[in-house]
Structure 1
Amino acid sequence: MTGHDVRAEHETVRPGPAFDRRLMAPLILGAVLNPINTTILAVALVPIGRALDVPASQTAWLVSALYLTTAIGQPVVGRLIDLFGPRRLFLLGAALVGVGGVLGTVAPNLAVLIGARVLIGLGTCAGYPAAMYLIRSEARRTGRDSPRTILTVLAVASQTVAVIGPALGGLLIGIGGWRATFAINVPLAVAGIVLGWIALPRDAPDNGDEPGSPPGLDLTGMLLFGGTLTMLLLFGMEPSVPDLWMLGAFAVLGAAFVVRELRARDPFLDVRLVGGNLPLLATYVRQMLGGLAVYTVLYGVSQWLQEGRGVSPTEAGLLLLAPTASGLLVAAATGRRPEIKAKIVVGAAFQLAGAAMLLLVDDTTPFWALVLILVAFGIPQGLLPLGNQNAVYHQADGSRLAASAGLLRTAMYLGAIAAAGAISALVGPRADTAGLHDLATFLIGSGAVLLVLAAADRSLRATASIRRVPA
């Protein structure tokens, strides 16, 4: 049975009331906690390294720690939300974000900062899966057509915050130093707890009206999934011959994970269903390639601006605001349209074009030209996550939508880890123009693959035509 068939079987609904607008504030806040913490640190790595007297190779772990934690945690927490509902996990996640913010604000050394980032990463794992879960639940309750407007708001908010993050980080550093980039999590966490407590429903979890006993918690499968992905991500961060044993461990743990999930009565990840849903797997690959470009530009260009061009962290953050307008306008203009394939193909084309333009950049390139290039990169930031998110909403098994949404974020962070590895391998100790051009060449290759995959995927046309049919 395909993802489309599952949706058709479990998504027959009767007309009902409108979407509960009280949910919008906690859903948006929960969904943006992860991207804001992912991007706000982009302009803080250099000040942190100087303040704590540590090299860039060590401060990079502040980025990798959050990527690793959330790449593993989002589908795991998403599955817990599928089983137990979103309220308690959302509130617990917001509390962990607050604790991580406090710890980072007072951290005396890099090790404690890394611990704070792990806590923040764990805390942000609940927001996006909870949002997707509740959007689906509201669609079932109200009997309305696919909520493209709500999905668009969610995608636009996440992408806007991701792009604004560096500028916000630069502003906070200018006001209160790099520790302010951790302290900002405290009021955000308090707001999340208050809004979640007031608005999130206390109802029992909705498992797609499946008959039989409630599904169980596959703790062994979750642990094997975490171990498998940890080995892959650790090797991807800094690939080297001495670390090839990690790939061996990845293969062994991965095989054990597949065997376990095939035998489990209620698996954490139904490998038969996911493996047979090729459109969903293709969506994850596209998300990974899109994330690869987003984070290569975010961290690679940001470092080049500060070290190769000599601008301040605040100025670098302001320049990285350029993708905001293009991404936001494009997403807002196209969000309610159902043409998923067109969004993804156009986004891939602009990603490839932006990478090609980076080859023309040097330390004499005027700032207006840099802004235009960053605007070009903003268009895929507005289109690709929106198209992939809507694809997952239609392609995934209805009873596992939160876990599937978590895997979509995992795919994004697999791209981020690959970006970190590419920056480490191609840029070197100092982000000069030669390193930037090497990154551009790397992005051209990955962008070409993305464009070919998007153009060749015929399933996206069928996905775009899905509608809910009232009973």
Structure 2
Amino acid sequence: MTGSLARVLRRLRPGGAKGPADGFDRRLLAPMMLGSALNPVNSSIISVSLVPIGAALGAPPSRTAWLISALYLATAIGQPVVGRLIDLFGPRRLFLAGTALTGVAGVVGMLAPDLGVLIVARVLLGFGTCSGYPAAMYLIRSEARRTGKESPAGVLTALAVTTQTIAVIGPSLGGLLIGVGGWRATLAVNIPLAAAGLYLGARRIPATPASRRDDGRHGVSDLDLPGMGLFSVALVCLLLFLMNPGGGDWYLPVLTLAAAAGFTWRELRARQPFIDVRVLGGNLPLVATYVRALLCYVVTYAFLYGYTQWTEEGRGLSASQAGLVQLPLFTIAIVVSTLTGRHQAVRGKLLVGAVGQIAACSLLFLLHADSPVWMLLAVVIVLGIPQGLNGLALQNAVYHQADAERIGSSAGLLRTFGYLGAIVASAANGAFFGRHVDTQGLHHLAWFMLAVSILFLALTVADRSLRRIGAAEGEPRHTDR
């Protein structure tokens, strides 16, 4: 017992320094928040870059959409895989490796001569930014064990503000960078961010030995490589089909089902499964949270990309102006997350968030090519409320519902379902807009978003297990397995 406690304490003391005796080690916050921000920033900054990239490289929206899909394809696969590696080996090595790859991707993107190389850079970005969020959730859970405080609401709020609302900085930052240095600057920004991440990660994230089994063998022998491979094949085939559902690639759903069946068969028999399907199948509240994440982010990303492109092409704003129009979304989301973050209950947040999404989608029907700027801002302000509530609530739900020993992979799966939603949103944008982003396409997209928002609300209302999360401060988390 003493040896185990000593190992935990050593893991949580960056650089061998003594950590606080009874409070969260706040030196971890900077690398946690920066690492978690790398993916959302790159997910959103591209929204104002698509039009100038297409103009510079002679690519229509149907081809530049691959810049969105490539990052999500890599991230959706990489998040749970890297999360599982973090569960086994600790966060430091994976965090540093991922951050370094993010810097390399920034260099490749900055120098890309054509769209193909730019897509490769986005794939590298997807894999490089996989480690930040699972590492942060791992550190939060480890600190909770050390301090005896199961639900560090303030820290979870800080992480949620970073991971969910930092994405809204992307369009504004992207517009500024494009105005100063062209679209290539939106890729080059990853170089200084990666340098800062490497410095903070090396200085503050504790070195952790690979987990050992009772027989003394390192956790590397516990890697379920066949399970990871089958999971990746199933996800790649599914995402490729979702990117172009009308392309006649009928074999992709068949391959998806075959790989998924093989994955399930493997995980039921593996000694240390990559994803424990027995536990996951018995934890219906966690499965429901993943489904809600998918629905929520379909709307979030359809709005982020579709609405932003419409303000540029359909409304005639410049990239910088389109980025500034998104800025109130960031401000409102930050305020909402900060005001509500100390309350651990998630059901109320999700209900208000679902209603907020329905309201924002409904307002899109009022927009036209000559709509005044104040109407554009009104839509963004309304959407800021669910933006500040939903991400925070979903993250807190996973923190309380997931198995503590698999918090890294569980957090990765939350992101995976979010990026599945992003892929669906990207496909919807391509289907409703085609070669030109016009108001009619925006209204068709709004109908789709409205239907998804209503489904999100219905699933939240029906899920009674949400009432128990945060029902009493300090109670052990419930998993309902």
Within 1, Cα distance between the matches of 2:343 and 2:418? 23
* 1:279 is the counterpart of 2:282: no
CA contact (8 A) 2:65 2:430 kept: no
- 1:287-306 equivalent positions in 2, closer than 5 A: 287-306=293-312
1:354 is matched by which residue type in structure 2? A
Q: How many equivalent residue pairs?
A: 454
Offset at residue 16 of structure 1 (A): 4.6
Q: Which residue of 1 aligns with 2:146?
A: 141
Q: Which residue of 2 aligns with 1:309?
A: 315
* 1:327 is the counterpart of 2:372: no
2:128 is matched by which residue type in structure 1? G
**Which range is displaced more, 49-58 or 111-120?**
49-58
Structure 2 length normalisation: TM-score? 0.92
Within 2, Cα distance between the matches of 1:22 and 1:411? 30
Q: Which residue of 2 aligns with 1:397?
A: 403
1:317 is matched by which residue type in structure 2? G
Q: Which residue of 2 aligns with 1:341?
A: 347
Q: Which residue of 1 aligns with 2:441?
A: 435
Within 2, Cα distance between the matches of 1:204 and 1:377? 44
Q: What secondary structure, in the 3-state scheme, does the structure 2 residue paired with 1:169 have?
A: helix
CA contact (8 A) 1:16 1:143 kept: no
Q: Which residue of 2 aligns with 1:418?
A: 424
Within 2, Cα distance between the matches of 1:432 and 1:52? 21
Within 1, Cα distance between the matches of 2:123 and 2:440? 33
Picking from 181, 184, 195, the partner of 2:186 is: 181
* 1:233 is the counterpart of 2:239: yes
2:398 is matched by which residue type in structure 1? V
Q: Which residue of 2 aligns with 1:112?
A: 117
Structure 1 length normalisation: TM-score? 0.94
**Which range is displaced more, 23-32 or 320-329?**
320-329
* 1:24 is the counterpart of 2:29: yes
1:57 is matched by which residue type in structure 2? S
Q: Which residue of 2 aligns with 1:61?
A: 66
Within 2, Cα distance between the matches of 1:120 and 1:136? 26
In the TM superposition, what whole-angstrom CA distance separates every residue of 1:78-98 from its partner, at most 9, and x where no partner exists?
Answer: 000000100000000010000
In the TM superposition, what whole-angstrom CA distance separates every residue of 1:270-294 from its partner, at most 9, and x where no partner exists?
Answer: 0010111100001011111111111
Offset at residue 467 of structure 1 (A): 5.1
1:413 is matched by which residue type in structure 2? Y
CA contact (8 A) 1:82 1:205 kept: no
- 1:37-48 equivalent positions in 2, closer than 5 A: 37-48=42-53
Within 2, Cα distance between the matches of 1:25 and 1:437? 41
CA contact (8 A) 2:61 2:430 kept: no
CA contact (8 A) 1:70 1:124 kept: yes
Picking from 374, 377, 384, the partner of 1:378 is: 384
Within 2, Cα distance between the matches of 1:186 and 1:361? 38
**Which range is displaced more, 383-392 or 365-374?**
365-374
CA contact (8 A) 1:100 1:119 kept: yes
CA contact (8 A) 1:145 1:467 kept: no
* 1:198 is the counterpart of 2:203: yes
Q: CA RMSD in A?
A: 1.6
Within 2, Cα distance between the matches of 1:456 and 1:197? 45
Offset at residue 316 of structure 1 (A): 0.5
- 1:83-162 equivalent positions in 2, closer than 5 A: 83-162=88-167
Within 2, Cα distance between the matches of 1:454 and 1:86? 33
**Which range is displaced more, 43-52 or 400-409?**
43-52
Give the gaps of 5 or more residues in structure 1. Answer: 1-14
State the 4+ residue runs in structure 1 displaced beyond 6 angstroms.
210-214
CA contact (8 A) 2:239 2:420 kept: yes
CA contact (8 A) 2:230 2:260 kept: yes
Picking from 78, 84, 97, the partner of 2:83 is: 78
Q: What secondary structure, in the 3-state scheme, does the structure 2 residue paired with 1:19 have?
A: coil
Q: Which residue of 2 aligns with 1:8?
A: none
Within 1, Cα distance between the matches of 2:153 and 2:79? 23
Offset at residue 465 of structure 1 (A): 2.6
Within 1, Cα distance between the matches of 2:120 and 2:424? 22
In the TM superposition, what whole-angstrom CA distance separates every residue of 1:282-308 from its partner, at most 9, and x where no partner exists?
Answer: 101111111111111111011111111
Percent of residue pairs identical: 56
Offset at residue 432 of structure 1 (A): 0.7
CA contact (8 A) 1:137 1:206 kept: no
In the TM superposition, what whole-angstrom CA distance separates every residue of 1:365-413 from its partner, at most 9, and x where no partner exists?
Answer: 2111211111111111110010010000000011100000000001110
Offset at residue 244 of structure 1 (A): 1.6
CA contact (8 A) 2:243 2:424 kept: yes
Within 2, Cα distance between the matches of 1:92 and 1:392? 25
Q: What secondary structure, in the 3-state scheme, does the structure 1 residue paired with 2:46 have?
A: coil
